[in-house]
Structure 1
Amino acid sequence: MSKRLRSSEVCADCSGPDPSWASVNRGTFICDECCSVHRSLGRHISQVRHLKHTPWPPTLLQMVETLYNNGANSIWEHSLLDPASIMSGRRKANPQDKVHPNKAEFIRAKYQMLAFVHRLPCRDDDSVTAKDLSKQLHSSVRTGNLETCLRLLSLGAQANFFHPEKGNTPLHVASKAGQILQAELLAVYGADPGTQDASGKTPVDYARQGGHHELAERLVEIQYELTDRLAFYLCGRKPDHKNGQHFIIPQMADSSLDLSELAKAAKKKLQSLSNHLFEELAMDVYDEVDRRETDAVWLATQNHSTLVTETTVVPFLPVNPEYSSTRNQGRQKLARFNAHEFATLVIDILSDAKRRQQGSPLSGSKDNVELILKTVNNQHSIENQDNEQPDYDSVASDEDTDLEAAASKANRQKSLDSDLSDGPVTVQEFMEVKNALVASEAKIQQLMKVNNNLSDELRIMQKKASRLEKQNSTPESDYDNTPNDRDPDDLGSSRKGRQRSMVWQGDGSVPDPAEPHAAPSPVLPSTEDVIRKTEQITKNIQELLRAAQENKHDSYIPCSERIHTAVTEMAALFPKKPKSDMVRTSLRLLTSSAYRLQSECKKTLPGDPGPPTDIQLVTQQVIQCAYDIAKAAKQLVTITTKENN
């Protein structure tokens, strides 16, 4: 641990004193409250580590400190540094702001929607832009200028870019130059230390060839980071890579091997997965280990009198919209594995990873495989008895309406733990402590307490129109937290660690209310007209939520059509190309959410090809779309009220 936490350091998101967490991939230090929001976003948005209570590879911590000290935060708050942002009403959060909604909305806008990063000039060919950025990254990593490389990565440069003329990747260049901190940054953004260049050499080869032995050893560690992390989680030890030991396979202490047909089938299924699917499963388990370990640190470091609140709940892995719904469901169900089951899954992944790397044939091993993979894919028939409960978190665990799903999940976890008679295992006590946050009765009770169920939402929606009329000239938030209006590819959305702010899943493109050839118009409709259309939208949303509450799934499509019609009528009130950025982004959120709502509702149609429809998942997505529509309508009422007064 380096000498850090100087008194001058402040939280990157709210400027609060003495930040105790780091966002590794963002190069920032953050306070406890802001960290609770980061955790709910998921590792694909922010990878958090505690600065004192989490083990750090020294050079990884040095990399984050260097970025923080050299102003990496300005990358994510670029437009907020412009004096014009004050005029537009945008500002960052303050230490005194409430976590929800103030800090949470700002952090989501900053990191998830990338609302404040520098925008590239529009170009017809986005692939050329990404290629140019990647070439700049390729050149920059030979220097020690970390913040330049992070800026390029934030704009869409690819960490694994293979330079067609040079015949190598940025990590080859950094390794040859001995730039260990650049190597750390590239690895955080997905660079592979095992990639070969045109000569067949890896970054490890170049580091050793240049006499950069510390870098070479660190690259080997990064190459085995996934399996090392899983082994350390179970037994607190890591392999000795220097002496050629690359795997540790912990063993169960009990001898009650499960030789049932289910266990044999699960083992066979794991071994028969393609390398690609096996890697996906291993990565998902890695993320679950990270979630459980972070929860354990969270329990140990927080004020226990205020610990169990809606601001700290991350009961299962948040959604990554770049993954399929099936994979997201499987990832979240990993939280339901009790200590023995999860340890078994981790051990079998480690065993099979070693087998695959060494090229060993399938064996008839009698390893204990209790129920593994039973909840990780569509064919988990053993879980049918739980199908009436929603398992999918459609909004990354930070919306109140998802707390009911989280609470029911935690309840099922508790009953599962008590029903299964686990034999003694060497890691059981260790892992059960880490699982405490998931299984604790206190958290379940608190989740129930803070939960707003659908009937509550109906009452809120019924009062929305009257509340909107009473809005004063102050916007709900002091910054623009709607998705930016650039193309997703401008930010390298395919790169590891990046998430698009708005995912379109329909059959066509979302229409942009702003026509490119129309002249910008400052004219806005009257507040009364906007409120009237908002009341119609609200009424239609009430019908949809009532149908969801009463499980009338066949009503989803007609309800969504009525909502879409009302949204179209409301959008038609505004000029084709509004002059205000806030109006354009709110209209975009309004119309795209209406289209996404229709797309989700169509999934309830019978006879749809593909995997069976998970009606609970569809309902969660439908509700989220309805919330987005209501939010956008409220923003438009607020804007027109302010502009017309």
Structure 2
Amino acid sequence: MATLGRNNKILLDLVRKPGNNLCADCAAPEPDWASYTLGVFVCLNCSGMHRSLPTVSKVKSIRLDYWEDSLVEFMQERGNSAAKDIFEKCVPAFYYRPQLKDCAVLKDQWIRAKYERREFTGEHENFLQAYNSDLVETTLWKKGRDNKQFLKRIFLLSQKDFTLKYFIKGDSKVPKACITMKDLNANFQPEKIGHNHGLQISYLEGERTRNLFVYHEDGQPIVSFFNAIRATRLAYLLNIHPRLQNSDLIPQITRESLKEGYMEKTGPTQREPFKKRWFTLCFMNRKLLYYKSPLDATELGAVFIGTENHGYSVSESSGRGTRTSRWHCRITLETPERQFLFMCEHAQEQREWIEAFRKIISQPMTSEDYASRTMVFHRYHMRPFSGGGIDLDM
């Protein structure tokens, strides 16, 4: 006869072992739930997603629920590492493995792909081939460039010529845009876009960054499209860097912003009125972009962030004596030729922005960074920043 205390103690000892001490699906520490049909330990958040797959996964709390001896024995035999050998046997290098911080649709579809569709067990090659097809076509809802309305658009992803095109109508011969893989980036932004499946696609359009905001009503098509973009980006990077390994290129496939949010800014003389703007700081290209609103198609300005050795630094102070600003948590960003002044509403936001700036400033510059710096200096011709950027906001 099983006893609650004995079997729970066995499970608690088991979950502390390497491999089991992180959630099998999102790597969250100290999981305290388990799927007794799959033999994996998972966190509370992922356990809820497992419950949506009742024919595949059944979960219990390892602390509170009653466990029969046979179920405990199965958990001892299986565990996270053994389960990954089965359910993650053939995960492609480009496929994004969600972590604790990632949005729900990424984690949900990862769990469904592993356990429900069994995409990575080696049983179904058609799943993996779909991501690497020469052409991947999907229909998405896309936000208009100059309005808030989302309209259906057809997207065509080509691994043959490394492009992403979208069309206004299904019978259109000429795409509305043809985007190369060179500077394309895609990441999920559900809160910004206002949809659980919201995806932001960014690329260089001439001299400025262009943002597309799209979504699909269902989770599987948008996550599959995202991973198809990653597959195409990896193929492109391997094509231009044939001597590099996958491990060198994976971090470059897609990237998230280091920090995003509202701050207030003033102009070059610091006598101009402060204006509330949406800022995006990217670690990979060392650029601070800012927009009038989070869903703007193009940025108003850009600032390159170099290293301390090149004369860049950031500091904080109280801005209560600053005129025209409603906010009082000041950030001063020093560049070789200009001082930038920003205001945050709260001290916590101020600390987070300063930490993000310092993370970039402390990172040595690469040859690609020097090229990016030169482009920021010389690409723009309207109201250039003397400190390495452009301001179209004055």
Q: TM-score range by the shorter chain?
A: 0.3 to 0.5
- Which has the larger helix fraction? 1
Structure whose CA Rg is larger: 1
Provide TM-score, normalisation by structure 1: 0.22
Provide TM-score, normalisation by structure 2: 0.34
